[in-house]
């Protein structure tokens, strides 16, 4: 059910693209993530590329694909995608007969303009971190922080695909209704409690027909890969509007994706057991199999960095706000999200995006949002230059990074996703 690492993950593989062999490189030959790009300023049609070191291989120029429609590539059967990965791995390996031809199909990443990696038709945001759900629940519902359905059902809501942008997005501070403490009438104005959410975005490859659920054992065959995702949140607007139907304007003004999709095949060496605390309810049978418990989770490390406008002016680097990994943060796996999303017959389509929800670990320094790190504004964070943050301010640049590493495998990265708040 779950493909094992193969020759494309060989730790001895090296590429004729020299930068791919550097220690700590996000995009070694064992990774090979997909994205869409064009030469900056060219106005060309977007091309499908694969990141290798600090370069991008143009797949159509290399003769590997006939169409630059990423959604069509994502919809291909898993066997076809795996064959393309093998071809890429062989052609980019040291000593390959393809080096002379493919070297002409390379574009330096620094010269490329990146776009969203595919057309996103629909976007669903889940709530997969029990630690985040509990932390936020304490602030909004101190007497009942974790609702009784949370440990039984993967909670999600349908978001807005049209406002999803790619890394580098400039995020305008949203307006909305808020209700001040002690007030009797809400007011319309700019958000004063702007926040980020450290998430992963899981992309659908092959879809399913309407009325045909996807079983847990087949769920990963319908996943194409994963990217970094920042779901910006207006906490003051959220607090007023989210009952009884959940987030609306507090969430749909902007979300930012990294430009590269790391494929499910690339993640094979970084599988982990799906473990549920014996004191918690165990998943219902449709969300559970022995194979899924053995290796249905993934270990992905995530970190958040902040650079204020004052830091940028002083040429000071961004500082880390938090760091965690998915085995500590995620209560539900990507396969369970796919299966639950379709159990009622909902039809998913190539390019659909499933957000993980904020991924917060069990310790305070692992929180994936300022709402948690700063205690809803009661305990502001002091930065190394003396500035404080309870929530994001204009000019702040927020960056998420992610990577996978373990003994016996080559480290691969998800790259980064950044966005800057503007007034």
> Which distant-in-sequence residues (6+ apart) come within 8 Å of 331 by Cβ?
128, 129, 130, 151
Give the residue among 120, 84, 288 at the shortest CA–CA distance from 201.
120
Strands 169-172, 271-272: pairing is unpaired
Active-site residue, selected from the candidate residues 9, 132, 292, 341: 132
Q: Is 9 a catalytic residue?
A: no
**DSSP-assigned letter for residue 309:** H
CA dist 55 and 20 (Å) reads 8
226, 359 contact by CB (below 8 A): no
Q: Where are the alpha helices (DSSP H) in 52-111?
A: 70-74, 78-92, 99-102
Burial string for 388-406 (b: 16+ CB within 10 Å, else e) reads ebbbbbebbbbbbbbbbee
Cα–Cα dist 152/286, whole Å: 12
244 prior amide bond cis, ω within 30? yes
Q: 403 pairs with which residues across the strands?
A: 301, 413
Residues 182/190, Cβ–Cβ less than 8 Å: no
Contact 175, 189 (CB under 8 A): yes
Alpha-carbon distance values, 337 to 23, 157, 265, 326, 343 (Å):
34, 12, 18, 15, 10
- Residue 345 near residue 356 (C-beta atoms within 8 A): no
Report d(CA 104, CA 39) in Å as an integer.
Answer: 14
Residue 385's Cα: distance from chain center in Å?
Answer: 30
Q: How far is CA 75 from the centre of its chain?
A: 20
CB atoms inside a 10 Å sphere around CB 32: 25
- Integer Cα distance of 22 and 9 in angstroms: 16
Angle (CA) 155 198 69, round 5°: 85
Q: Which residues are catalytic?
A: 132
């Amino acid at each position: 059910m779950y493909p094992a690492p193969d020759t494309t993950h060989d730790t001895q593989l090296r590429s004729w693209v020299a930068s791919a062999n550097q220690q700590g490189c996000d995009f070694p030959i064992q990774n090979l993530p997909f994205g869409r790009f064009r030469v900056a300023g060219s106005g060309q049609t977007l091309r499908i590329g694969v990141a290798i070191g600090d370069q991008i291989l143009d797949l159509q120029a290399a003769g590997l694909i006939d169409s630059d429609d990423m959604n069509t590539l994502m919809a291909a059967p898993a066997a076809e995608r795996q064959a393309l990965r093998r071809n890429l791995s062989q052609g980019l390996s040291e000593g390959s007969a393809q080096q002379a031809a493919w070297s002409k199909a390379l574009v330096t990443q620094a010269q490329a303009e990146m776009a969203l990696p595919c057309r996103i038709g629909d976007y669903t945001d889940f709530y997969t971190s029990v630690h985040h759900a509990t932390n936020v629940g304490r602030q909004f519902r101190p007497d009942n922080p974790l609702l009784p359905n949370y440990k039984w059902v993967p909670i999600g809501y349908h978001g807005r695909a049209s406002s999803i942008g790619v890394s580098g997005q400039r995020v305008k501070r949203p307006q909305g209704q808020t209700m001040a403490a002690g007030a009797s009438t809400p007011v319309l104005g700019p958000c004063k409690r702007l926040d980020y959410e450290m998430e992963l975005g899981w992309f659908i490859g092959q879809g399913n027909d309407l009325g045909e659920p996807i079983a847990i054992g087949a769920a990963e065959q319908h996943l194409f890969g994963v990217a970094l995702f920042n779901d910006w949140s207006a906490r003051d607007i959220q607090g007023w509007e989210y009952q009884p139907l959940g987030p609306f304007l507090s969430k749909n003004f902007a979300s930012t994706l990294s430009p590269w999709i790391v494929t499910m095949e690339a993640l094979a060496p970084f599988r982990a057991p799906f473990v549920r605390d014996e004191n918690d309810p165990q998943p219902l049978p449709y969300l559970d199999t022995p194979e899924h418990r053995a290796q249905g989770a993934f270990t992905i490390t995530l970190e958040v960095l902040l650079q204020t406008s004052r830091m940028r002016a002083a040429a000071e680097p961004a500082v880390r706000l938090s760091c965690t990994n998915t085995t500590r943060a995620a209560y539900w796996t990507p396969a369970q999200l796919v299966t639950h999303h379709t159990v009622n017959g909902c039809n998913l389509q190539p390019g659909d995006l499933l957000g993980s929800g904020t991924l917060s670990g069990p310790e305070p320094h692992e929180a994936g949002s300022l709402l948690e790190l700063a205690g809803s504004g009661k305990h502001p964070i002091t930065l190394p230059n003396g500035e404080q943050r309870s929530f994001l301010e204009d000019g702040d640049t927020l960056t998420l990074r992610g990577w996978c590493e373990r003994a016996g495998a080559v480290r691969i990265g998800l790259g980064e996703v950044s966005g800057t708040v503007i007034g």
